[in-house]
Amino acid sequence: MRLHPHTVGIDVTRGPDRRRPILLMFAGLAVTMSSTEARTLADQLVDATEQT
């Protein structure tokens, strides 16, 4: 996947009073996740970059 930040806005925010406090918004999509899910995703992305 490739996002072009100059044409697609990317925003990550935290809403501490929510069940899934991490909000990732890009290309008109909003993805909510727990802190654990966000950390797991970050770890998987790092692992994938180290394999290439």
Q: In what order do the strands lie in the sheet with 29-33?
A: 10-14, 22-26, 29-33
Tokens, residue 46: 């790092």
35, 43 contact by CB (below 8 A): no
Beta bridge partners of 8: none
The reported pLDDT for the residue numbered 6 is 72
Q: Where are the domains of the chain?
A: 10-51
Q: pTM value?
A: 0.72
Q: What are the pLDDT digits (tens) for 3-51?
A: 676 777 889 999 888 899 999 998 888 999 999 999 999 999 999 999 9
